[in-house]
Amino acid sequence: MISRRQLRIKALQSLYAYYKAGREEMGRSEKELHFNIQKAYELYYYLLLLIIDVILYAESRIELARNKRIPTHEDLHPNARFINNQLVDQLRNNEQLLRFVDQHKLNWSNYPELIKEIYTKVVKGDEYVAYMSSEGNGFAEDKKMIIQIFTHVIFPNESLSAIMEEQSIYWNDDLEFITSMIVKTLKKFREDDDSQKALMELYKNDEDRDYVVKLFRQTILHRDEYVEYIKQNTRNWDLERIAFMDILIMQMAIAELIGFSSIPTRVTLNEYLEISKFYSTSKSCMFINGVLDKVVMQLREEKKILKKGRGLIGEN
């Protein structure tokens, strides 16, 4: 499922687009937010489909070798361990995956060179050589090989990154997180799983779905109030000189501090500081940390931060 951090990032991206478009109608921007999240989930299935296509390409290579005019003994009796990978076979028959791929018309047919490139890198790797020559022939070895391909061949592939950027402006940002989702998914597969094996859902629960919508709305609806808190705690700074992304990240943090009683203050601060490292300037993290520490003190004095729930006793 999409993590809370990824939901925060999706909200940040959509808020940035909302403000840069001149504060267009909020309902339309909210639809864009849902579309952005759905596209990340689509990437999850798209990449699962990619490993299947790599295996299909490997099968075609074996078939071509068999049909040579003068095939060698190796051509006629190939090592089929890779194409018979049990985990990929489960994916090929997984009903949830097949249904989603069909409904969203996902395929890699326009990118044969990418499939070939990934296959070539796989078969040249030491892990592949060891896998193909190993005496062990179990499900655990098959799973380990596919996870290795995702983490060391597919994820860092530059051609794939270019294709992701071409298909969605956000997919490059999603690639690392979605790869981690896939690895978690694959680790849960067992040898006796059937075609009904459940894959990850979009949201962990309804609470996460409501969370991202509320965060998005609160940041917009209370913008002036939150910006005023930032102004009051950056008195030595002209607001015009503060990076727009820094202001937006702090607005979101304040929205979460005030609006979500079950999220610990420290969790909120840590999450937005981490996000600032990737989405703002090199010095933003320290600056945002200093400002938000002052804002938190002010909000507590005004009794605007009210936390409740397990593990939150003493926060107030």
Q: Which two tokens stand for residue 12?
A: 């940040």
> Is position 307 within any domain?
no
Last residue of a domain, one of 166, 187, 208: 187
According to the model, what pLDDT value does residue 271 have? 97
Residue 198 resides in a domain = no
Query: Are residue 178 and residue 234 in the same domain, yes or no?
Result: no
- Nearby residues of 121 by Cβ (< 8 Å), 6 or more positions away: 153, 157
- 192 found inside a domain: no
Helices (H) and strands (E) in the chain, counts: 15, 0
What tokens does 127 get? 């892990």
Q: Is pLDDT of 206 > 80?
A: yes
Domain count, the chain: 2
Percent of all residues in the chain with a pLDDT value above 90, rounded to a whole number: 78
Reported as a single tens digit per residue, the pLDDT across 100-123 is 999 999 999 999 999 999 999 999
Show which of 135, 160, 187 is a domain's final residue.
187
Considering the domain architecture, whether residues 176 and 37 belong to the same structural domain is answered as yes
Contacting residues for 20 by C-beta, under 8 A, at least 6 apart: none
Q: Are residues 168 and 252 in the same domain?
A: no
Let me know if residue 89 belongs to a domain.
yes
Q: How far apart are CA 51 and CA 55, in angstroms?
A: 6
Nearest to 17 by CA among 28, 1, 2, 5: 28
Closest-CA residue to 79 (of 41, 126, 129): 129
Q: Does residue 168 share a domain with residue 251?
A: no
Q: Are residues 17 and 130 in the same domain?
A: yes
Residue 291 has pLDDT above 90, yes or no: yes
Query: Is 133 in the same domain as 253?
Result: no
Range scoring the smallest mean pLDDT among 45-59, 143-157, 189-203, 236-250: 236-250
Residues 126, 32, single domain; the answer is yes
Same domain, 82 and 231: no
Residue 115 counted as domain residue: yes
Range of the domain at 12: 4-187
CATH number for 229: 1.10.940.10
- pLDDT (0 to 100) of residue 190: 97
Q: What is the pLDDT of residue 73?
A: 77
pLDDT in tens, 210-255: 999 999 999 999 999 999 999 999 877 767 778 899 999 999 999 9
Mean pLDDT of the chain: 92
Would you state the pLDDT for residue 312?
Answer: 64
**Residue 246: closest CA among 258, 259, 233:** 233
pLDDT, tens digit (0-9, with 9 covering 90-100), for 149-183: 999 999 999 999 999 988 888 888 899 999 999 99
Same domain, 272 and 123: no
The pLDDT tens digits of the residues spanning 9-27 come to 999 999 999 998 876 688 8
The rounded distance, in Å, linking the Cα atoms of 243 and 250 is 11
Predicted confidence at residue 27, as pLDDT, reads 86
Q: Is residue 308 part of a domain?
A: no
- Determine phi and psi for 50, rounding to 5 degrees: -60, -45
145 shares its domain with 244? no
Pair 86, 179 in one domain: yes
Res 313 pLDDT > 60: no
Query: Of all residues in the chain, what percent carry a pLDDT higher than 70?
Result: 96
Residue 314 confidence (pLDDT) above 80? no
What is the mean pLDDT of the segment spanning 50-59?
Answer: 97
Among candidate residues 311, 12, 39, the one with its CA nearest the CA of residue 168: 39
In a domain, residue 292? The reply is: yes
In angstroms, how far is CA 147 from the centroid of its own chain?
Answer: 16
Closest CA to 312 of 272, 261, 271: 261
What is residue 75's predicted lDDT score, i.e. its pLDDT?
A: 67
Give, rounded to a whole angstrom, the gap between the first and last alpha carbons of the chain. Answer: 31
Shared-domain flag, residues 23 and 172: yes
**Longest CA–CA separation in the chain, Å:** 84
Residue 292 has pLDDT above 90, yes or no: yes
In a domain, 125, yes or no: yes
In angstroms, the CA 176 to CA 254 distance is: 27
